[in-house]
Amino acid sequence: MAYSDHTAAHGDHEHRPSGIWRWLSTTNHKDIGTLYLVFSCVMFFVGGLMAMLIRMELLKPGLQFFDPSLFNSLTTVHALAMIFGAVMPAWVGLANWMIPMQIGAPDMALPRMNNFSFWILPFAFMLLLSTFFIPGGAPAGGWTLYPPLVLQGGNSLPLAIFAIHLMGASSIMGAINVIVTIMNMRAPGMTLLRMPLFVWTWLITAYLLIAVMPVLAGAVTMLLTDHFFGTSFFSASGGGDPVMFQHIFWFFGHPEVYILILPAFGVVSEIIPTFSRKPLFGYSAMVYATASIAFLSFIVWAHHMFTVGMPLAAELFFMLSTMLIAIPTGVKVFNWCATMWRGSLSFEPPMLFALSFLFLFTIGGFSGLMLAMAPADFQYQDTYFVVAHFHYVLVPGSIFAIMGGVYYWLPKWTGHMYNMTLAKWHFWLSTIFVNVLFFPQHFLGLAGMPRRIPDYATQFADWNRVSSLGGFAFGLSQVLFPIIIIQCVRGGEKATNQVWESAHGLEWELPSPAPYHSWQDAPTLATIEHGAEHGNTM
Amino acid sequence: MTTTQTANDYHDRQRRNVRRTALVLSLIAAAFYIGFILMSVSRALR
């Protein structure tokens, strides 16, 4: 069978099951991408609802609505839902949709595993959320699950640990699929240094996932055996070491932060050149900077543990290695600015979200540098300053980049343009209120307000009120996001193939909406070079 | 060699590479999982 015949035979499978069976059994990367994105959106609102409840409790000093144990459960499950349920699945969803289209592959390399890795996620989160309804309540020891505190909780521990195992297995399978796809399924002529930055950042992210998710799984398995089988991995009374858990957890936890943010760098590196009408400045430097950040993320974990106690030499090592991350990150920020320099800028919603990312993520990066200084960290540790820092990195960082990515590629997915005015409203409300929500938390932290408390001294009342009101407004403004997406799916102005006048890359060579099976015939070298002409400069 | 053979060879090679890469990555993930548990065991036994 000739190559073209072979692909034509595949074309016979253009028909797809309809109804629920389509979504349960699908092996199509676009369907699975959609499933991930819808799941992520649902979890974003579930986690967001918990955030609203937390801010409601903190609106005024004193206990208002929840007992402290439930408050701690809300903070713990909010974090787990947002990290593992909202942000990571959103990135996997975008990867599923875009990577095959961007590298000229017909689908992901392991489509059945792709289906399986999605469908275990809803069960994982059903398990996790069901813990709110069992005696003793949901896990309340924080998302870091530190022993011995977490071992003293109710009956929720095994359910939460099983849920984490399932999430981990899903992530590992997703990561294996991404790497295998990128390394083996690129169209002939799509060399590594012609790949779009989103594909590059995801490739590096996938390696991080494979290295660290099993470490988390190992850590929680040991917690489980400590609790139920009498082992003493982390129990000092049996010869174990609770601090060992913290080392293992943060060996996973710090690269996890980069798992959440590296694909954001990729999305922003796609959006800024398009709306600056210029090629990305320093493509290869961006690739090497991403790889450097990923490498450094493995040797900085103990900066989360300065106050736990460690030799001075170790403190210095972890302080300096953490500060080193500012160099490749600075390269990226410089390159995005240089891309815009003398560009013909326009400010459509994806660009607005990318610019907001650029400014606000940098604020999160700077507060990260402050936290990296070991002596200063003794003041900041476990205060709201830390909460402000990582929310600046994850909300206007990761989540704004996800929203920017959705607004960038949505017309390609649906074939319709969305309501630009409403999307700009979404952007401005989000950007204003995310700052009202999180910026005052810097002041609260510097003034000494501890994190993970349902009540606080009255001197913190004013900024907490501001933060809570900002939180409610930010939460409400997010309702616009699904409304805009649903409107766009149902209809609207027809999108052109290129959608944005200066967009370059293989995905824009496909019709809008992208066909159910794309690139069954690999793109020609000329198409690849045309796609790479403005996006990548190698 | 005909076009048919070339295309089939290409797809066979791609399929083999996909399997090999997936296997290697799965082994790496398993090694990290078991490795960290073994490391903790050896520390607890010290």
CA-based nearest residue in chain A for residue B7: A3
Q: What is the pLDDT along chain A (538 residues), one digit of tens a residue?
A: 333 344 444 444 456 777 888 999 999 999 999 999 999 999 999 999 999 999 999 999 999 999 999 999 999 999 999 999 999 999 999 999 999 999 999 999 999 999 999 999 999 999 999 999 998 889 999 999 999 998 887 789 999 999 999 999 999 999 999 999 999 999 999 999 999 999 999 999 999 999 999 999 999 999 999 988 888 899 888 888 899 999 999 999 999 999 999 999 999 999 999 999 999 999 999 999 999 999 999 999 999 999 998 999 999 999 999 999 999 999 999 999 999 999 999 999 999 999 999 999 999 999 999 999 999 999 999 999 999 999 999 999 999 999 999 999 999 999 999 999 999 999 999 999 999 999 999 999 999 999 999 999 999 999 999 999 999 999 999 999 999 999 999 999 999 999 999 899 999 999 999 999 999 888 888 888 776 654 444 3
Q: Which two tokens stand for residue A427?
A: 């952007």
Q: Which residues in chain B have Cβ-Cβ distances shorter than 8 Å to A110?
A: 18, 22
Q: Which residues in chain B have Cβ-Cβ distances shorter than 8 Å to A214?
A: 29-30, 32-33, 36
Look up A78 and say whether it is catalytic. yes
Q: Which two tokens stand for residue A170?
A: 């899903």
> Which residue is it, tokens 């949709």?
A97
For residue B32, give how far its alpha carbon lies from the nearest alpha carbon of chain A (Å): 6
CA-based nearest residue in chain A for residue B21: A180
CA-based nearest residue in chain B for residue A241: B44
Rounded Cα distance between A9 and B4, Å, is 14
Of A235, A338, A250, give the one whose Cα is nearest residue A301. A250
Task: Map out the domains of chain A as residue ranges.
Answer: 3-13+26-532
The three-class DSSP label of residue A395 is helix
Query: ω before A148 within 30° of 0 (cis)?
Result: yes
Of A275, A334, A187, A183, give the one whose Cα is nearest residue A535. A275
Q: Which residues in chain A have Cβ-Cβ distances shorter than 8 Å to B25?
A: 175-176, 179-180, 210
Rounded Cα distance between A82 and A311, Å, is 34
Identity of residue A86: A
Which residues is A416 bridged to in the sheet? A494
DSSP code string of A80-136: HIIIIIIIHHHHHHHHHHHHHHHHT-SS-S-HHHHHHHHHHHHHHHHHHHHGGGSTT
State phi, psi for A416 to the nearest 5 degrees: -125, 150
| Contact residues of A toward B, CB < 8 A | 1-3, 6, 109-110, 172, 175-176, 179-180, 183-185, 210-215, 217-219, 221-222, 231-233, 238-241, 244, 248, 251
Alpha helices in A229-304 (DSSP H): 242-276, 283-296
CB-nearest partner of A233 from B7, B29, B40: B40
Rounded Cα distance between A349 and A91, Å, is 19
Q: Which residues in chain B have Cβ-Cβ distances shorter than 8 Å to A212?
A: 32
Residue A69 exposure: Cα atoms within 13 Å on the Cβ side: 11
Cβ pair B33:A2 closer than 8 A: no
Q: Which two tokens stand for residue A7?
A: 């692909």
**Per-residue CA distances from A112 to A27, A39, A117, A306, A405 (Å):** 6, 19, 9, 44, 26
Look up A430 and say whether it is catalytic. no
Look up A303 and say whether it is catalytic. yes
Rounded Cα distance between A360 and A112, Å, is 39
Cβ pair B32:A212 closer than 8 A: yes
For residue B9, give how far its alpha carbon lies from the nearest alpha carbon of chain A (Å): 10
CA-based nearest residue in chain B for residue A5: B4
Interface test with A, best of B11, B14, B39, B40 (most A CBs within 10 A): B40
pTM for the structure as a whole: 0.93
Other C-beta atoms closer than 10 Å to the C-beta of A295 total: 14
CB-nearest partner of B21 from A184, A214, A239: A184
Rg for chain A, CA atoms, rounded: 23
Which CATH number is correct for A3-13+26-532, 3.20.20.140, 2.60.40.420, 3.90.950.20, 1.20.210.10? 1.20.210.10
| Contact residues of B toward A, CB < 8 A | 3-4, 6-8, 10-11, 14, 17-18, 21-22, 25-26, 28-30, 32-37, 40-41, 43-45
